[in-house]
Structure 1
Amino acid sequence: MSLLLHISDAHLYDDPVGELKGVRPVESYAAVLEAAHRHYPDPDVVVLGGDMAQDEAVATYAKVAAMLPWCAPVMISPGNHANLGALRGSLIPALRSCASYSDHLDLGLWQVITLNSHRTGTISGFLAVDELERLRTILEATADKYTLIALHHHACDIGSRWLDDISLENSEVLWDLIADYAQVKVLLCGHIHQAFDTFHEGVRVLGSPSTCIQFRPRSDDFGMDNKSPGYRWIRLLDSGEIQTAVERVEGFIPPDLNNKDPY
């Protein structure tokens, strides 16, 4: 059995008093990390979802890593808020300075593969040809390993029109690829700022809350939920099944849930 923690959508600023919808992301991120570390001090892998740095600054990416309380293997799945140059030049080296970093981790009976769904200039996601080919090459060579794939953008509808409009643009291509590989058991995403759990094409699809503000489920238009920040834990069982739940901290509710200002 292996334990995976999913920490996503921190939206940090380098400025410690920077706010998003009236919430200070650095404070909510710190609270979520403290709670996760208290309950799970020794995970086998931590997956950082996308949108970790709202200002996409080098210093902010360094802060994302510096605040992590674990010296464990860390993986990332870049999202729409991503400066890939700064991420590669700051976040990844910082992660490597403590523990291993990779986009493909062998956990014995299981493997974790992270994908980059960032597409410059768009909020929605897209998997480039080389990223899809990398995935296919790994899956072709690892038919004996149960597989969890983590990416930022959701690849199936979640019932919120505005979020489904900015999901993974070429999700059909991903599902067509996955259909050839029965070892794929889980598809994990961020981006939607809410807990989500369903099956699609025989694969468990999981979404995680943000460590900052939450989005209201099943909403046609942008709306914030009155739930606190959180994270998801996943136990990868030797049987190929999983156990999972979302845990939340207290507080950090936006003072005005009707605030629709862009960010």
Structure 2
Amino acid sequence: MRILHLSDTHLLANRGRHHGRDTTAALEEMLAGCERDVDVVIHTGDVSEDGSAQAYRKVHDLVQGWAGEVPVLWAVGNHDDGPTMAAELHVPLGAIAVHRVAGFRIVMIDSHRHGLVGGVVGAEQLGQLRQELSDRPGEPTVLALHHPPVDPLTRLQRGIRLHDHEALWELIGDFEDVRMVLAGHLHYHLHTDVVVGNRRVPVQVAPAITYLVDTRLPAERERWLVASGVVHTEIRPDGGWTSQVYAAAPDTRVKQDPDLEQVADVAEQLAAADQRWLAEHTEA
């Protein structure tokens, strides 16, 4: 199965700018440079920045217009407005969505919770996922969600990660059909393996459209670059895969480069806010 994996488009209704960048133009430029020879397009969230119906329609028209008859699947991100996105892009909220493409099962998971920057899969979706994998064994499966179930590389992001990642990996460990996990949220490309029992499950994080985090710096820093990227991945039923990152007009200009004290303050504020949310919601 050939996948175009993109994430974090952060579009606004009227070609507005997100952190000074025209995200509509960035998406248009990115798509113009991508190969169309794919079986599915998967967008792993933060589709819109302003949560407007117009923004979701615009993203749909751009991405589906590029894809043609190829299906486009969407995950909800922490910047998205869940009800508006559900209405415009026909995605379920708080429930998994199962699709079958090119001999694979793709399960879209909603890790977004209103008021939370990090993510939660939750007991209900974990139960749905376990039921789906149990009822239909033997299908090579890709999971996709916004928040990656891996350790982020920067201090700022560690407090706003997928908070119940351990429960998700415990479930994945029971089902060898899961071949790969796709995610976004981090604004940089990451491809790593997570050891589950006696096997390794690859996790692919797509770089963002709106800006990229400069991961060449120490984890305590947080520098954002004017750049975009997507990933073209081909995965085989046996779990073997190849991938290539496509970059549109890579640019090393710095968008933001706060000092260490500023990063530490923001990291603490975000982490504390997420912990308060988790303390108030027994599901997590």
Q: TM-score range by the shorter chain?
A: 0.7 to 0.9
Equivalent pair of 2:225/2:251 in contact (CA under 8 Å)? no
Q: TM-score, normalization: structure 1? A: 0.87
Matched residue SS, 2:133: helix
1:154-183 deviation per Cα after TM superposition (whole angstroms, max 9, x unaligned): 111032121121110111110111110011
**Which stretches in structure 1 are left out of the alignment for 5+ residues?**
94-101
- Structure showing greater radius of gyration is 2
Hey, what does 1:46 align to over in structure 2?
Answer: 41
Q: Determine the C-alpha separation between the residues in 2 that align with 1:179 and 1:239.
A: 17
Equivalent pair of 2:3/2:42 in contact (CA under 8 Å)? yes
Hey, what does 2:257 align to over in structure 1?
Answer: 258
1:192-217 deviation per Cα after TM superposition (whole angstroms, max 9, x unaligned): 11110111122101111001100122
Q: TM-score, normalization: structure 2? A: 0.81
Equivalent pair of 1:8/1:209 in contact (CA under 8 Å)? yes
From 58, 65, 70, the counterpart of 2:67: 70
Hey, what does 1:3 align to over in structure 2?
Answer: 2
| 1:248 paired to 2:247 | yes
From 167, 184, 188, the counterpart of 1:190: 184
Matched residue SS, 1:67: helix
> Displacement of 1:254 after TM fit?
5.3
1:208-231 deviation per Cα after TM superposition (whole angstroms, max 9, x unaligned): 1001100122532432146x2010
Normalized per residue, which structure has more strand? 2
> Displacement of 1:252 after TM fit?
5.9
Q: What aligned pairs does 1:77-226 form with structure 2 within 5 A after superposition? A: 77-92=75-90, 103-201=97-195, 202-217=200-215, 219-225=219-225
How many residues end up aligned between the 2 structures?
248
- Residues 214-223 or 45-54, more deviating: 214-223
Hey, what does 1:96 align to over in structure 2?
Answer: none
Equivalent pair of 2:9/2:46 in contact (CA under 8 Å)? yes
> Displacement of 1:103 after TM fit?
2.5
Q: Determine the C-alpha separation between the residues in 1 that align with 2:46 and 2:30.
A: 16
RMSD: 2.1
Matched residue SS, 1:30: helix
Q: Determine the C-alpha separation between the residues in 2 that align with 1:33 and 1:206.
A: 19
Q: Determine the C-alpha separation between the residues in 1 that align with 2:255 and 2:141.
A: 40
1:11-41 deviation per Cα after TM superposition (whole angstroms, max 9, x unaligned): 111121x2122211111011111112xx2x2
Label 1:92 to 1:34 Cα distance change in 2 as closer, same or farther (>3 A).
farther
**Which stretches in structure 2 are left out of the alignment for 5+ residues?**
267-284
> Displacement of 1:151 after TM fit?
0.6
Hey, what does 2:14 align to over in structure 1?
Answer: 15
Moved over 3 A (4+): 251-257, 259-262
